[in-house]
Structure 1
Amino acid sequence: MTIRFAFYGRVSTEDQQDPEASRNWQMSRARALADRHGAIVAEYFDIGQSRSIPWKRRPQASALLVALKRPDRDFDAVVVGEPQRAFYGNQYSLTFPVLAHYGVSLWVPEVGGAVDPESEAHDLIMSVFGGMSKGERTRIRIRVRTAMAAQAQVEGRFLGGRPPYGYRLLDAGPHANPAKAADGRRLHVLEPDPLAGPIVKRIFSEYLGGLGIFAIAEGLTGDGVLSPSAYDRARNRHRTGVAWSKGAIRVILTNPRYTGRQVWNKQRKDEVLLDVEDVALGHETKLRWNDRDDWVWSTDVVHEPLVDVESFERAQALMTGHGRGRSRTRTRVRRDYVLRGLVHCGVCERKMQGQWNHERPYYRCRYPREYGLANRVEHPSNVYIAEHDVLPVLDGWLAGLFAPAELDRTVAAMWEAQVDDPVDPAAARAEQVVQECDTKLARYRAALEAGTDPALVAGWTAQVQSERAAALGAVRAPVTRPRMSRDEIRAVVDALQNVHDVLVAADTADKAAVYRQLGLRLTYRPEERTVRADVHVGAQPWGYGECPRGDLNPHAR
């Protein structure tokens, strides 16, 4: 009997693996096993997914689980190239019973064929591989963190990321790792920015002189000093940059790197259970602040300080006295906001923040209270809207919008509402190519100075400059997003049947997920006391992944 196999593989790009190369060797191992008994007829390969993520939350693995349930599926067995890539921890014990339930066998090279559900030896082998996968990940994490702590403390090395406002990066020579140095990687150190550096000194001086953070923000904005987001627009396009905010001032005043020492481990990544009632859903990563005692400081001063240690400590004492020093260690209560990130202020167009009040979720915008001189804008000091006033009307509107009798009208309205906005889908890739070309050109100049044949270097340079020019052209060339046809819109809408039933039965997290899949955007206009709801089906929802608080400039930490 010829067996039809579905191949499953996975690659994580966290350690800069080549997805194509990883897929090829995993597929080769799978074919070496499967070709003796049949052929691989389907492929499910996850790219950029951590091994710790359960199958239900990996896009391709989840699609494979869905395909299992179809009576007309085109495969009889699942083959993996390496079990450590497919299973982590107890994932095998959670996944294999599902495969067996639907009559689909699991084949792995390590057992030389199909895993026997009745074999204790096979079950032990697969469990061991899951444990090895978990142990390998844990061991790598410990090794990397220990090495980074030593590099920060002993060497004072800049470990990457954005430089704090007031500094810029200065080349410090080739990377200490010979392999990375051969690939053109360089080390960097911080040096004062000639324009922004004096602003940092001014902020500390004024704060220690008695001015509050809002008064400092007003003074800088009034003097025409660009805020951190406005000063570096290339990396802050999603922020307004209109004025200095209290948050930006506070971040600068609490950043110890201005004392000339490198500081690492201010934050950590914790893995938190998605649902304590259903451990099989796995974890999500949360970024949390470490206690100050856990920060790793460089032993010596490693870059030019903008503030002396005494002034910095005085600033921290002042902020602690104003109630700021305890903010990172207080116990936080998890609040559920169904419309988190979806509600926008109709006055300033900024996302409104969640605010728990009277045991209920609200959304607020305090634009004039956060930005210096923002009170010159016609904006109420506080804009509030209650979630419980919006949800019933919103759910009813969505139910009517996608009701069978209204589908034709909805599809027609969505088709007519499309706008031929000029977009540039290749901009990100083109900018990356430009950066890579600049790196290569710098490497070629170094090779020329080291004595490499000038004719050879000239050939390399000409080729890279040609690639760079083409990439710049792609960045500037506008591309128009193709309009979806009525049939394409109808196909997307058909997948959203029974929206009302889903919303009524859904819990907070599921309902929020439905709203995001619909591409929902709510705009509250306080002067009219109305909420405008827009649905953008079939496209990336507005603004997800963007900073919700405008100009707080968290990268300056």
Structure 2
Amino acid sequence: MMKCVIYLRLSKEDDLNHDESNSIKNQRELIHKYIRKDADLRKMEIVELADDGYSGKNMERPGMQELLKLIKDNKVGCIIVKDMSRFSRDYLETGKYLEQIFPFMGVRFIAINDNYDSRDYAGGIGEIDVAFKGILYDFYSEDLSEKIKSSFKIKKAQGQYIAALPPYGYVKDPKDRHKLIVDPEAAVIVKRIFREYLDGTSAYGIAQRLNEEGVETRSVYFERKFGFNCQGNREKALLWTSMSVIRVLDNENYIGTFVYHKYEQTEVASKKKRVLDPEKWGRIRKHHEALITEKDFAKVQRMRQNSKKQIKSAKEHCLAGKLRCGLCGHRMRHSWSGNPKYECVHTYLNKGSSHERNSVIDADVEKMVLSVLQREIEIQGEAEKLVAEKEKADQLKIEEAEKRMQAMQDSLEKLYADQMESFESYKAGITSRDVFMDQKASYEQMEAQLQENIEKQRKAVTDLEKKLEDDRNGIRISGDQIKVDRLTREMVLMLVDRITVWPGKRMEIKWNFKEK
């Protein structure tokens, strides 16, 4: 039996608006009331899927993903929602499903409050109405996003600290969670870092001392104190580094200044952010108790400026991230200075430990990997297969990039068609001039954004093709044999899982390909 899927969604934006009609309970009651009046729907198996607290700007929602899987498995006969915005607030995404996917899969779509039932439309003005409502939902969602950000900015400007975690050296006041008070345990470490730096110890030297004495890093301390789980590189979180010391030295919170609005979104509803110039940051002085005097902080900043060196941008080494120390399991950091080499990060940051020094020169590890790779290929006798797999993987990357570009171009063509229909509707007297002009402005804005995205994607495809061609230059095919002349980053990522290194140039390679 085909299923009638009731899809319900409530987002944080709905909480902001305090719109009771959008609650999951009210959506459910409205839809069930509608089903009871429709004989065809009453005969179907009713399935309910819900996403509570998810934005409608993308389809990455648990309930939505389950719904799409049911559609793919051809188990859905009808989808019913309160209105279009519950399904999606992305105009282009909604249009793709209503006009292409649902008709192809034979799925009926009903949006009750929009008076839309796909069974009643086979083209015409109904689709124009839906398209324009989609545009309104899209811009409404962006407007809400801006309102939420403005709300947070106002709270910060009022001096309310609303971040999940306090700065290292402080805790949130139990009496007012938006205020900061000194954390005596961590404040000692903050003051020590500033004092030692002012005494002439480098950031690297301070990190070494802290590691030698077993002082907890910020991540480990927060995990113990607040139950916060260390994110990202767990091993790196366990050790103080030059960068973690520098973050303390550059933090204005320690002179009692609350700093906010450091970042700005590159575009509305995007997760991408860019760092603003420090002059544009918001600041509230004497916001909380200082740990460092302004005089000492200013002196540290002058010392930091004087010690900064011009760091030449170095190309990422082909084996970066693949080497581990056989003695302790820590990753091995790469250094381009002197004889380029890999060194265990544990001994680099904690020279006082009993851990034996463990390092290997670039040329030695590259030579070894090339030699063993060549031997493995000859032993396994799968040269042609290996090359074919790489070519296939490379081609898939290019095809995926081209598909994304084609999808953008298709959306642009669809946008042009919608613009023409909107104009024809206006000329026929179906829509007023004011409505048409609003539609025209919206279409032009979306067209400009799509054109920009298409150009970015076209450049990305060209860059990818060039990179893959450069990578292929490291492999030669002679008869039925493959010769690897040099290692490339792409080759390493595809073939090498991990390289474990012990003192005395002893190494072990774990490959990504399986033995016969």
Q: Is the 8 A contact 1:208 1:315 kept in 2?
A: yes
Q: Distance in 2 between matches of 1:116 and 1:44?
A: 25
Corresponding residue to 2:240 among 239, 244, 250:
244
Q: Which residue of 2 aligns with 1:80?
A: 81
Q: Which residue of 1 aligns with 2:150?
A: 146
Q: Distance in 2 between matches of 1:12 and 1:343?
A: 44
SS in 2 for 1:159: coil
Larger radius of gyration: 2
Q: Which residue of 2 aligns with 1:188?
A: 178
Q: Distance in 2 between matches of 1:46 and 1:366?
A: 46
Query: 1:204-242 CA distances to partner (integer Å, 9 max, x unpaired)?
Result: 222233221011222334455443344344335545765
SS in 1 for 2:55: coil
Corresponding residue to 1:317 among 286, 293, 302:
302
Post-superposition offset of 1:262: 0.9
**Aligned residue pairs: how many?**
389
The one-letter code matched in structure 1 to 2:131 is S
C-alpha spacing 1:383/1:82, structure 2 compared with 1 (3 Å): farther
C-alpha spacing 1:69/1:232, structure 2 compared with 1 (3 Å): closer
Q: Which residue of 2 aligns with 1:349?
A: 329
Q: Distance in 2 between matches of 1:337 and 1:6?
A: 51
Q: Which residue of 2 aligns with 1:219?
A: 209
Q: Is the 8 A contact 1:260 1:303 kept in 2?
A: yes
Q: Which residue of 2 aligns with 1:166?
A: 169
Q: Distance in 1 between matches of 2:341 and 2:27?
A: 49
Q: Which residue of 2 aligns with 1:9?
A: 8
Q: Is the 8 A contact 2:332 2:345 kept in 1?
A: no
Q: Which residue of 2 aligns with 1:265?
A: 261
Q: Which residue of 1 aligns with 2:291?
A: 306
Q: Is the 8 A contact 1:12 1:49 kept in 2?
A: yes
Q: Which residue of 1 aligns with 2:29?
A: 28
Q: Which residue of 1 aligns with 2:101?
A: 98
Query: 1:415-451 CA distances to partner (integer Å, 9 max, x unpaired)?
Result: xxxxxxxxxxxxxxxxxxxxxxxxxxxxxxxxxxxxx
- The yes-or-no answer on 1:108 pairing with 2:93 is no
Q: Distance in 1 between matches of 2:70 and 2:336?
A: 42
Q: Distance in 2 between matches of 1:80 and 1:160?
A: 35
C-alpha spacing 1:61/1:149, structure 2 compared with 1 (3 Å): closer
Q: Is the 8 A contact 2:102 2:108 kept in 1?
A: yes
Contiguous gaps of at least 5 residues in structure 2: 381-388, 402-492
Post-superposition offset of 1:356: 11
The farther-off stretch of 8-17 and 21-30 is 8-17
Query: 1:467-492 CA distances to partner (integer Å, 9 max, x unpaired)?
Result: xxxxxxxxxxxxxxxxxxxxxxxxxx
The one-letter code matched in structure 1 to 2:126 is H
Post-superposition offset of 1:59: 4.8
Q: Is the 8 A contact 2:13 2:144 kept in 1?
A: no
C-alpha spacing 1:521/1:383, structure 2 compared with 1 (3 Å): same
Query: 1:23-61 CA distances to partner (integer Å, 9 max, x unpaired)?
Result: 4433333333334131353444445543221x4x44543
5 Å-filtered alignment, 1:118-517, equals 118-153=122-157, 155-173=158-176, 187-223=177-213, 225-234=215-224, 235-236=228-229, 238-239=234-235, 243-270=239-266, 285-298=271-284, 300-323=285-308, 345-350=325-330, 367-368=345-346, 371-373=349-351, 376-381=354-359, 503=393, 506-507=396-397
Q: Is the 8 A contact 2:325 2:358 kept in 1?
A: no
SS in 2 for 1:161: coil
TM-score w.r.t. length of structure 1:
0.56
SS in 2 for 1:93: helix
SS in 1 for 2:271: strand
Post-superposition offset of 1:500: 9.5
Larger relative contact order (CA 8 Å, sep ≥ 6): 1
Query: 1:322-349 CA distances to partner (integer Å, 9 max, x unpaired)?
Result: 337x99xx9x99x999999887554443
C-alpha spacing 1:241/1:80, structure 2 compared with 1 (3 Å): closer
SS in 1 for 2:272: strand
Q: Distance in 2 between matches of 1:301 and 1:22?
A: 43
Q: Which residue of 1 aligns with 2:46?
A: 41
The farther-off stretch of 223-232 and 138-147 is 223-232
RMSD value, Cα: 5.0
C-alpha spacing 1:216/1:75, structure 2 compared with 1 (3 Å): closer
The one-letter code matched in structure 2 to 1:27 is R
Q: Is the 8 A contact 2:70 2:76 kept in 1?
A: no
The one-letter code matched in structure 2 to 1:373 is K
C-alpha spacing 1:531/1:31, structure 2 compared with 1 (3 Å): farther
The one-letter code matched in structure 2 to 1:140 is L
C-alpha spacing 1:64/1:194, structure 2 compared with 1 (3 Å): closer
C-alpha spacing 1:112/1:231, structure 2 compared with 1 (3 Å): closer
Query: 1:110-168 CA distances to partner (integer Å, 9 max, x unpaired)?
Result: 21533655444322332343333333332233223223333323x32212321222222
Q: Distance in 1 between matches of 2:11 and 2:126?
A: 26
Contiguous gaps of at least 5 residues in structure 1: 174-186, 273-282, 401-498, 511-515, 536-557
Structure (1 or 2) with the greater helix fraction: 2
Corresponding residue to 1:524 among 478, 500, 503:
500
Q: Distance in 2 between matches of 1:169 and 1:381?
A: 43
